[in-house]
Amino acid sequence: MRTLRFALIAAAFAAATAAIGWLGVLLVGLADGALTARQRSGALLTGLAAMTSWAALLLLQAARAPIGRVATVLSGVLSVKPVGVYALTVCFAGLLALTSALVMRGVVRLSATR
């Protein structure tokens, strides 16, 4: 069940990103936070799902195009190692998803207690 949920959220993140861009991660994160507000855990899973979804999108790109060269050029521009560029990308998605889910859970719980 937990795995299925993870896969579904990751798919939702990927679809939202493809449809409306990076703010799709915010929206899915908020929605997931609202839906799972009463569960004890789950926000971390949301963050991991977002990271997985962006990693999968990068892999999809890599299957068709030389994204390694993008990472190399970016690493020069940003003065980080190429792996750092990949890490920055997936971590950004993860952080956005995690924090948006946590905030929404907090808001829902807060409103439920009032």
Cα separation values, 22 from 29, 60, 72, 79, 94, Å = 11, 17, 22, 24, 11
Contact indicator for 85, 78 with CB cutoff of 8 Å: yes
For residues 4 and 111, which CB has a smaller minimum distance to another protein in the complex?
111
For residues 7 and 106, which CB has a smaller minimum distance to another protein in the complex?
106
Residue 84 Cβ, how far from another protein at the closest point, in Å?
12
| Residue numbers at the binding site for another protein (CB under 8 A) | 17-18, 21-23, 26, 54, 57-58, 60-61, 64-67, 69-70, 73-78, 88-89, 92-93, 95-96, 98-100, 102-103, 105-107, 109-110
